[in-house]
Amino acid sequence: MSAELASTAKSVREFDVEKVRSDFPILQQQINGHPLVYLDNAASTQKPNSVIDAISNYYRTINSNVHRGAHHLSDMATEAFEGARQTVSEFLNSPKKEQILWVRGTTEAVNLVAHSWGRHNINAGDKILVSTMEHHSNIVPWQILAEEKGASVVPIPITAKGEIDLHALEGMLDHSVKLVSVNQVSNALGTVNPVADIVQLAKKVGAKSFVDGAQAVAHFPVDLVSLGCDFYAFSAHKLFGPTGIGVLWGKEELLDSMPPYHGGGEMIETCSFACTTYNKLPYKFEAGTPDIAGAIGLAAAIDYVQSFDRAQISQHENTLLSYCHELAAHCDGLSRVGEAENIAGVFSFLLKGAHPSDVGMLLDQQGVAVRTGHHCAQPLMDALNIPGTVRASFSIYNTKEDIDRLFAALDKVKQFL
């Protein structure tokens, strides 16, 4: 083992959920007279002290613009900002840090690719395949592009269990398909999709691949070299980081070939009324003053996650999910929605005789925070012929006691039905 790897190994600490919970100040409060049980992690995770401190310390000590300043604070801010890019690069096993682009989140990443790659590569009659279980942000930008170009967005069917139907996908793939865009983990069902296999299927017909990793990165490691996709995106706020910042990764040759998404400062090499030339990667896609504190906060979040053995985190979350399924099997009137073989962190369900929004309101009165509705996945809900679900989603700081509280609260909800 190299000295660098040995040092990394020494920094990994034993996973202890009670110690983890103490790192998250928001969990130490009561809601409606009850200790908070936060089960809305698929929407947004809470932030540990180290992330809050990293953002605060930036503003307290080195707040300045990056890259162009000629003074100490700017140098320090630039070092931290670009250090964050390197942290993300290593986190995803990117071949180069220049392939890491700062965006506002996964939604902007999809829009960037649709605009800068799509408008130059999608033509009339072309097809873009997305799965039926996609978040709206991985549907609507492609629809806008397709309408403009005379192309079509075609849904990939899912099975009764809530998994992408790979057999159906194979039958849909031909040379009219230019892009396959799928999530790595479904935000509504928790299904972990076989994205490496999907990427390889797309390659057989020359199609590019986009992977929405927003729901994946907090639950298990991502290796972009092994995955083989052309584009990958995630949002910081689902990885214990701040809102308003995320990452788009792309293959270098594709990013080089794409025109800028926004124009302004930083993204130019030279600017004149006669001719403007564009900056090199990644700055070509980062017009204007970036979210410097957000990037630093994301790096702190990644450092926090990687301070643990990620296998222990996965084991903890899988134990919670199994325990939840066990209690659900004995809960009268409760039906699971989505029973894929491989699920990460999400338990979606319906309660007989109750609208999901009513269940969510009654759970909130007991201090249990869940998400209800269609989860920005209306085509999925239409395919399942339901209005929406109640979604409890788990993270690193949740416990079996949280799940006990959830089902005890559901028992009380049933008294109102």
> Is 229 annotated in the active site?
no
Contact 112, 139 (CB under 8 A): no
Burial 341-375 (b: 16+ CB within 10 A, else e): eebbbbbbbbbeebebebbbebbbebbbbbbbbbb
Backbone angles phi, psi at 173, to 5 degrees: -80, 120
Enter the tokens of residue 30: 């009561």
Q: Report which secondary-structure segment, H or E, holds 89.
A: helix 72-92
Phi and psi at 409, nearest 5°, equal -70, -35
Q: What angle do CA 162, 167, 169 make, to 5 degrees?
A: 80
| Residue 189 token pair | 């069902």
Helix ranges, 136-291 (H) = 140-149, 166-172, 195-204, 224-227, 252-257
Catalytic residue, from 229, 271, 275, 376: name it. 376
SS3 at position 40: strand
**What's phi and psi for 373, nearest 5 deg?**
115, -155
β-strands 100-103, 368-369 pairing: unpaired
Kindly list the catalytic residues: 376
